[in-house]
Amino acid sequence: MSISGELPGEGSDGEEEVFIDEEDIIHEITIDEEDLPDRDEEDDDVGDGIDDDVLSCSITFHDLHLSHQQCFIMQSNGYFRFQLIQKTSLMILRTHFLATKANEVFSVACSPTDASLVASGGKDDRGFLWRIGSDEGALELTGHKDTVGTVAFSSDGNLLACGSFDGQINVWNTAARALKGTLEGSGSGFEWLKWHPRGHLIIAGSEDCNVWMWNADHNAIINTFVGHSNTVTCGDFTPDGKLICTGSDDASLRIWDPRSAQSRHVIRDFIEFSMECVFVEHIFELVDGHGYHTDGLTCLSMTLDSQTVVSGSKDSSVHAVNVNSGQIVGSLVGHTTSIECVGISSSYGWVATGSMDQKLIIWDLTHQSSRCTCEHDEGVTSLAWLGSSRYVASGCIDGKVRIWDSLSGDCAREFSGHADVVQSMAITADGNAMVSVSSDGSARVFDISMFK
């Protein structure tokens, strides 16, 4: 999860202008004045100082992280703005409003089976389950007492898990739109959670230095993975579901057996611990010249064949480890500050890494070489490969989302709208849309069908 930045415009008396590019407008909607609802006294108060000819229309939406319902009005002063763009069944909603830090949105996930279903979680202790292009009311995912920092759907799309800094994970039935159960650990906050690729098992990394695993069908703890000495900041099942990889602020990567909850390998700088021996010198540094991270791990991603895990760290380093042997097989050198995100292409075998050094770098993992560097104006906080295509999206501190061609390194598209840090992004199941969430309190949906 990225660290939120300062709200744009703080300390400035000027008002930021918002521009809409012509190519962003897919369809214009004309609304007759007779169709507009009557304005009551409260509406008059809100609209003081607004000329009648700039009051375009009033439509009710479910604002995901401000209140249950709000009326977005096109105004000349920019306090509320909306743009509704429709192309067949795909709806693109972009909003611009004055948000507060209490409403930051940190996490987003798209259902793997339903292209319209999205979940998001924020600093207001709430999550929401909502649909793209639907007027169905957003379901507020209540029950938490602290930030909802991580959300994820099960592989079959039937369940949604919301993890919070309050030390609880609430599991929801997506069809019934009802709470199924609550999973608990030691009471310490959860940094992330992941589902098993084929079942209803959940793992989550905690501030208590442990990794927890539950059976979500029975709301039961199965295993606790003990070994890290600091917050477990990232992790996942291998794609084949046979092993678990986790990274920690203790600067180590651990590879676990999910059945026994024992570490198969512990990878650190210069030293490896394993089941077979108490302590051995890390000969891979001496033979291949590959050290490991010297500061906390921030992110990791695995190849589809479950053979390699790539991790990034606060120390600006990126390393590749063989999951089966625990050997460090590569180091990707090029960043100068903290690595915030890493992702592996499902088709090309390329790795994308984003850093606070304002760079997104595309790597050839096989040859451990940089293919291209994509320059940004500010730090890169999140990334997502667009399905099996050659395109990768990046989210940035400047609030922009950019689409990059990984073959050429060219920026194919830039989406504006967010007024603060882009915290997370997700791609819909059909690959037609991308959802981004931000510290400005909004979730935005962008049409990416042209990049499939």
Is 92's pLDDT higher than 60? Answer: no
pTM of the predicted protein model: 0.79
Q: What average pLDDT score do residues 364-390 get?
A: 97
CATH for 343-451 (3.40.50.280, 2.40.30.30, 1.10.10.60, 2.130.10.10): 2.130.10.10
Whose CA is closest to 307, among 393, 390, 238, 248? 238
What is the Cα–Cα distance from 129 to 119, expressed in whole angstroms? 5
Amino acid residing at 188: S
CB 117 within 8 A of CB 43: no
Q: How does DSSP classify residue 39?
A: P
Whose CA is closest to 4, among 104, 89, 143, 90? 104
Q: Is the dihedral of CA 313, 319, 323, 328 positive or negative?
A: negative
What is the Cα–Cα distance from 177 to 165, expressed in whole angstroms? 23
CB atoms within 10 A of CB 226: 12
Whose CA is closest to 397, among 424, 373, 420, 417? 420
What is the Cα–Cα distance from 379 to 396, expressed in whole angstroms? 6
Q: What average pLDDT score do residues 417-428 get?
A: 97
Q: Is the dihedral of CA 417, 420, 422, 427 positive or negative?
A: negative
CB 343 within 8 A of CB 398: no
Q: What average pLDDT score do residues 158-169 get?
A: 98
List the structure tokens of 80: 């509320």
pLDDT tens-digit readout, 251-271: 999 999 999 999 999 999 865
Angle at alpha carbon of residue 378, lines to 374 and 381, rounded to 5°: 80
Domain range list for the chain: 343-451
Is 61's pLDDT higher than 90? Answer: no
pLDDT tens-digit readout, 175-203: 999 999 999 999 999 999 999 999 999 99
Helix (H, G, I), strand (E, B) or coil at 196: coil
Q: Which of 52-61, 113-122, 153-162, 412-421 has the lowest mean pLDDT?
A: 52-61
